[in-house]
A and B are shown apart, each in its own frame.
Chain A
Amino acid sequence: MQTALKLQGVEKSFGEQKAVTALELTVPSGETCGLIGPSGAGKTTSIRLIMSILFPDAGTVEVLGQASALQAKDRIGYLPEERGVYRKMKVWAFLKYLAGLKGMPEAKSQPRAKELLAALGLDDILQKRCEDLSKGMLQRVQFVGSILHQPELLILDEPFSGLDPVSVRALKGVISAERRRGTTILFSTHVMAQAEELCDRVVMIHKGRKVLDEPMASLRRRYDPTRVLFEPLDANASLAVLRDVPGVVSLQQRDGEAELSLAKGTDPAAVIREAAARVVPARIEIARITLEDVFVGIVRGQSGAESEAALRQHLQGLSGEKA
């Protein structure tokens, strides 16, 4: 399999502050890779290093078989974290300009632009001025600008931030279509749920260091289910009795729902049977492992200093929009 992206021993500091430390990353062609981590973890810096907008203090960046992204510019699509357009320019003029810079002739880019904009719910805006569009619309226009020239490698920095749920779904659809076309995709997000949904592989960065790099499938397998969610039929039922079910080590109640944490090695099926016998359930399910859990687990394992609750709160506060 060909390698679309290869980073070796990449380091970058801004003054005293280390932004990226010893980053190793290999993305095979055709893979969709999610770069996750809380804000300030070094995601944007890593992406800028890949794009040769910043240059590493040490290490090498290989993109699409070239020694730097500069030699493969026309084959890369890039959506930066900081969105920007020429305010006075018309949407089509702007998109045509971007496609032209990437070497795509107008005859090819125009039908594709129309098609992509329509897929994102933006019909008939080609002749509008950029300054007359809403922020969310501009973001979608810019996304179109990044994939208009049918890149082999698509790099998206926080593609979903600031979008409404409908737009997020439309955008996911377009990204999935690009993925089926065989495009290698690297996208960063701090919303773990989005990565879970779209990625073949997850790379997790925390404080400038890579702390996880694993295919999504093996990640799911590796982390055993250890929690069961229980919602009673009768909202007033006492859930305290569930604490005594064998194998349950702790019980947390919130919003009329109980979350049972299981001891290692416990069979979830036995716990479910026993719990249903004690309280009549409306819904019982095994809590799927989320990337958030994985992330919290890894970070706690590395530095005991941060409490789990604080970390979760940090992540929730940052994401806000768990789509």
Chain B
Amino acid sequence: MFNRIRLVATREFLTTVTSKGFLIGVFVMPLIGLALTFAIPKIMAQRGAQITVEVALIESSGTLADTLRRELDPEVIIARRNAGRRAAMEQAAPGTGDMAEKAPAPQLTVPKFIVKVLPAGSTADAEKGWLTAQDIGERARRALLVVPPEAITQASPGADYGLYQLYAPRNLPEDAEDMLQDAMRVTLTTERLRAGGLDPALVQKATHVPQPRTVVVAPDGRRQAPAGLNRALPFIMGILLFMGVMIGGQALMTSTIEEKSSRVVEVLLAAVSPLELMWGKLLGQLGVGLVMMSVYITLGVLALMQFAMFGLLDPLLILWLLVFFLVAYLVFGALMLAIGAAVSQLADAQSLMGPVMMLLITPYILTPFIGRQPDSTFSVVASFIPPISPFVILARLASSSPPPVWQVLLSLAVSVGGACIAVWFAAKVFRIGLLLHGKPPSFGTLIKWARMS
């Protein structure tokens, strides 16, 4: 029996790892991903030629124009942009803000802004002709700012400031418009402070609090990873687990469908029992998944060593990753195997795959929340609900405050229980489905099969 399982597993493993799809999936895809990461900013930087924007200003304070000119200086604009980008990246993927700072900034082509103040008494209506004039050259744009006195000085103490207006023809690029409004925001703040009798330079210094790099201190002094790595780790673990399970599950499903549709399955069943075939396939693809995980883990460790940060990663975490990969793989692998056995062609599998994919994606979506709040009631409870439990507990293990050991072990026990149920279900469906052809069954039918002896 074990000899047959070994033979099936070996064939399954070799067929998959030598297929073009696997080589592309494991090696080429990450390379493409890396290439895109570096290439996209470069591509984005390829922009049009510089334009000139004439900004006409209607206002009465007299000092606004100078402040605005300062804020529209190209270097000031770029500095403001970069600060914004860092904040956005930190928001989207915690821990990546520092990267944004180090990565080369996209080369912005900042328009040349020329600010001119219109004489007192000018009105927006009167300037419409100037604003929409067509014959001003291909690279020239125009804009008009109207700033009433109450936008700078409060009409009465405690009252809201008035609004300024921006008039622009249709051809003003969105980018230039954003820059103009950003500059106006800073300019008005400065002018308002000055009108209120405060020193804008002092206020700016007083409100600027740089974010320090958090040093996480643990009692045993081991985990002292920078906060960035700590916040990114649950993510990375989630992605590794997800990819490993997906690649293995997909291969199991397609190879089963191939065996069914090519009718080779009847020849196989004359030599091995359905259970032997199923375990052979599960173990073979497990091998494939482990190869893929080792490739990525090795690459990751090498990358960390490159930055002399390997000491910051707990080796135990890699062990847990492998253990929970095994469990998660068994659950989803078994389900995908059952689907493969139940249908006759790939197209029929789509409807059955929906619910399974939902189960797989749910923990993936939850990972950021769990990574941020690893000790919340929700995170703890989710650690004990198969089949998402391996994903949740792993995210918590990788987070800055790992769960107590008893929780990890309980989660493992529950997950193993879930895996047993999934494998049992798959075995039933596999045995019945393999020789059935024709109309694909629904999930209800599959459950009926599982209940049959």
Q: Using CB atoms and an 8 Å cutoff, list the residues of chain A in contact with chain B.
A: 48, 51, 53-54, 70, 73-74, 76, 78, 80, 82-89, 97-98, 100-103, 142, 145-146
B266 touches A82 (CB 8 A): yes
Q: A54 vs B435: C-alpha distance in the bound complex, in angstroms?
A: 9
Collect the chain A residues with CB atoms within 8 Å of residue B262's CB. 84-87
Collect the chain B residues with CB atoms within 8 Å of residue A54's CB. 435
Further contacts, 10 of them, CB under 8 A, given A80-B266, A102-B271: A48-B435, A51-B270, A73-B272, A80-B270, A84-B259, A86-B258, A88-B19, A98-B267, A146-B267, A146-B270
Knowing A101-B4, A103-B3 touch, does A84 contact B271 (C-beta < 8 A)?
A: no
A101 touches B268 (CB 8 A): yes
B264 on the interface (CB 8 Å rule)? yes
Knowing A101-B4, A101-B272 touch, does A142 contact B11 (C-beta < 8 A)?
A: no
A84 touches B264 (CB 8 A): yes
Q: A97 vs B284: C-alpha distance in the bound complex, in angstroms?
A: 15
Collect the chain A residues with CB atoms within 8 Å of residue B273's CB. 70
> Can you show 11 pairs from A to B with CB atoms below 8 A apart?
A80-B267, A80-B270, A84-B259, A84-B264, A84-B266, A86-B264, A87-B258, A98-B271, A101-B4, A101-B268, A145-B267
Q: A142 vs B271: C-alpha distance in the bound complex, in angstroms?
A: 14
A53: nearest chain-B partner, CB-CB:
B269
Q: A70 vs B435: C-alpha distance in the bound complex, in angstroms?
A: 16
How many residues on chain B are close to A (CB under 8 Å)? Answer: 22
A73 touches B267 (CB 8 A): no
Q: A26 vs B16: C-alpha distance in the bound complex, in angstroms?
A: 44
Query: Per DSSP, are chain B's interface residues mostly helix, strand or loop, or mixed?
Result: helix
B271 touches A101 (CB 8 A): yes
A84 touches B270 (CB 8 A): no
B265 touches A84 (CB 8 A): yes
B15 touches A84 (CB 8 A): no
Collect the chain B residues with CB atoms within 8 Å of residue A103's CB. 3
The listed residue (B8, B19, B259, B270) touching A53 by CB distance below 8 A is: B270
Knowing A89-B15, A100-B7, A101-B7 touch, does A82 contact B263 (C-beta < 8 A)?
A: yes
B7 touches A53 (CB 8 A): no
A84 touches B267 (CB 8 A): yes
Which of B8, B15, B264, B269 has most A Cβ within 10 Å? B264
B271 touches A73 (CB 8 A): yes
Q: How far is the CB of A60 from chain B (nearest CB, A)?
A: 18
Going nearest first, the 6 A-B pairs with the smallest beta carbon separation are A84-B263, A84-B264, A78-B270, A101-B271, A82-B263, A80-B266
Q: How far is the CB of A19 from chain B (nearest CB, A)?
A: 13
- B259-303 at interface with A (beta carbon < 8 Å): 259, 262-273
A78 touches B435 (CB 8 A): no
Collect the chain A residues with CB atoms within 8 Å of residue B271's CB. 73-74, 98, 101-102
Q: A85 vs B267: C-alpha distance in the bound complex, in angstroms?
A: 9
A53 touches B435 (CB 8 A): yes
Which of B269, B272, B435 has most A Cβ within 10 Å? B269
Collect the chain B residues with CB atoms within 8 Å of residue A85's CB. 262, 264
B19: nearest chain-A partner, CB-CB:
A88
A155: nearest chain-B partner, CB-CB:
B270
Which of A51, A54, A101, A102 has most B Cβ within 10 Å? A101
Q: How far is the CB of A160 from chain B (nearest CB, A)?
A: 18
Q: How far is the CB of B99 from chain A (nearest CB, A)?
A: 42
Q: A76 vs B270: C-alpha distance in the bound complex, in angstroms?
A: 8
The listed residue (B3, B15, B267, B272) touching A142 by CB distance below 8 A is: B267
Knowing A53-B269, A53-B435, A101-B272 touch, does A83 contact B263 (C-beta < 8 A)?
A: yes
Collect the chain A residues with CB atoms within 8 Å of residue B258's CB. 86-87
Collect the chain B residues with CB atoms within 8 Å of residue A97's CB. 7, 11
Collect the chain B residues with CB atoms within 8 Å of residue A100's CB. 7
Collect the chain A residues with CB atoms within 8 Å of residue B4's CB. 101
Q: A53 vs B432: C-alpha distance in the bound complex, in angstroms?
A: 10
- B88-116 at interface with A (beta carbon < 8 Å): none
Q: How far is the CB of B424 from chain A (nearest CB, A)?
A: 19
B270: nearest chain-A partner, CB-CB:
A78
Q: A142 vs B267: C-alpha distance in the bound complex, in angstroms?
A: 9
A88 touches B15 (CB 8 A): yes
Q: How far is the CB of B295 from chain A (nearest CB, A)?
A: 23
The proximity string for B residues 6-17 relative to A, scoring 1 for CB distances below 8 Å and 0 otherwise, is 011001000100
Q: A74 vs B273: C-alpha distance in the bound complex, in angstroms?
A: 12
B4: nearest chain-A partner, CB-CB:
A101
Knowing A89-B15, A101-B271, A101-B272 touch, does A53 contact B266 (C-beta < 8 A)?
A: yes
Q: How far is the CB of A13 from chain B (nearest CB, A)?
A: 15
Q: How far is the CB of A59 from chain B (nearest CB, A)?
A: 18
Collect the chain B residues with CB atoms within 8 Å of residue A83's CB. 263
Q: A98 vs B8: C-alpha distance in the bound complex, in angstroms?
A: 10
A78: nearest chain-B partner, CB-CB:
B270
Q: How far is the CB of A104 from chain B (nearest CB, A)?
A: 11
